[in-house]
């Protein structure tokens, strides 16, 4: 029987050893998250202020479930970024498997939200409870991104727990390379959802 490894038991070191994953050192590798972001309208900023206030009000009454985080924060962000419009399709609760050839093991997990265009997986989103650290979500998201069958095209990821957000970029060329954005948080006085939405809108422009 082929051994099954659950994705929550996978760490960065395992992905580096088994798949040759490497962290890209060049700043230009993942310039999409910080350069030439679209300007937000006053109406979009009002919507983002409301999303932040809704979340910060709900987080006072734990536990705040993963489904609530998706409903209150993620869903309106995807809508504002244009991912509910053509040419994109949203798929949720997608199962994935990825095998390691040398040991005959299978990594099994579940993608929370998948943005698809022309049958290509473009944006992979891991949404966690507000009490979860993103340190555990990053290797899970990278596992899903490695499992993406499309070669030589960048795949983008977003891990979030409602109050914190980190973007990921992975490219499969001669080797697997990835990079992370800065971490954005709702615990700052300024609303960092402005930057999160700007990045999502930039990715929607690139991927469409």
Note the maximum CA span of the chain.
57
Higher pLDDT, 58 or 2: 58
| 164: β partners | 185
* pLDDT tens digit sequence for 175-208: 899 999 999 999 999 999 999 999 999 999 988 7
* pLDDT tens digit sequence for 69-80: 888 999 999 999
The predicted model gives 47-75 an average pLDDT of 91
On the question of pLDDT at 111 being above 60, the answer is no
Give the SS3 label for residue 68: helix
The residue among 124, 119, 189, 122 whose CA lies nearest residue 160 is: 124
pLDDT at residue 5, rounded to an integer: 44
pLDDT at residue 133, rounded to an integer: 74
- Cβ(167)–Cβ(158) below 8 Å: yes
pLDDT at residue 187, rounded to an integer: 92
Backbone phi, then psi, for 19, in 5-degree steps? Answer: -120, 5
What percentage of the chain carries pLDDT values higher than 70? 76
Share the mean pLDDT of the chain: 82
The predicted model gives 17-32 an average pLDDT of 93
On the question of pLDDT at 151 being above 70, the answer is no
DSSP string, the chain: ---EEEGGG--HHHHHHHH--EE---GGGGGGGTSSPPPPPHHHHHHHHHHHHHHHHHTTSS---HHHHIIIIIHHHHHHHTTTSTTEEEEEEEEEEEEETTTTEEEEEEEEEEEEETTEEEEEEEE--TTS-HHHHHHHHHHHHHH----SS-EEEEEE-SSEEEEEEEEESSSEEEEE---EETTSSS-THHHHHHHHHHHHHHH-
Distance in angstroms (rounded) separating the CA atoms of residues 140 and 98: 12
The predicted model gives 59-82 an average pLDDT of 89
| 179: β partners | 169
Please state which of the ranges 43-57, 105-119, 134-148 shows the lowest mean pLDDT: 105-119
The residue among 143, 131, 205 whose CA lies nearest residue 178 is: 143
Q: What angle do CA 52, 160, 61 make, to 5 degrees?
A: 50
Please state which of the ranges 9-18, 50-59, 148-157 shows the lowest mean pLDDT: 148-157
Sequence-ordered list of residues with C-beta below 8 angstroms from that of 129, at least 6 positions apart, any chain: 63, 64, 65, 66, 69, 161, 162
On the question of pLDDT at 155 being above 50, the answer is yes
pLDDT at residue 98, rounded to an integer: 52
Q: How confident is the model at residue 109 (pLDDT cuts 50, 70, 90)?
A: very low
On the question of pLDDT at 102 being above 60, the answer is no
* pLDDT tens digit sequence for 119-144: 455 667 666 656 577 887 888 888 88
């Amino acid at each position: 029987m082929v051994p099954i490894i659950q994705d929550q038991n996978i760490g960065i070191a395992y992905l580096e050893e088994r798949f040759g994953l490497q962290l890209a050192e060049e700043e230009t590798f993942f310039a999409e998250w910080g350069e030439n972001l679209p300007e937000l309208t006053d109406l979009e900023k009002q919507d983002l202020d409301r999303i932040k206030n809704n979340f910060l009000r709900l987080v006072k009454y734990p536990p705040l479930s993963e489904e609530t985080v998706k409903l209150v924060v993620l869903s309106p962000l995807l809508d504002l970024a244009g991912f509910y419009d053509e040419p994109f399709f949203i798929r949720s609760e997608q199962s994935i498997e990825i095998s390691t050839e040398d040991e005959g093991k299978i990594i099994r997990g579940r993608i929370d939200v998948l943005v698809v265009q022309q049958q290509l997986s473009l944006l992979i989103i891991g949404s966690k409870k507000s009490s979860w650290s993103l340190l555990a979500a990053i290797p899970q998201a990278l596992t899903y991104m490695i499992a993406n069958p499309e070669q030589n095209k960048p795949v983008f990821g977003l891990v979030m727990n409602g109050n914190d957000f980190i973007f990921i970029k992975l490219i499969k060329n001669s080797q697997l390379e990835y990079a992370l954005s800065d971490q954005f948080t709702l615990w700052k006085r300024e609303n960092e959802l402005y930057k999160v939405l700007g990045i999502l809108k930039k990715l929607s422009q690139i991927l469409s």
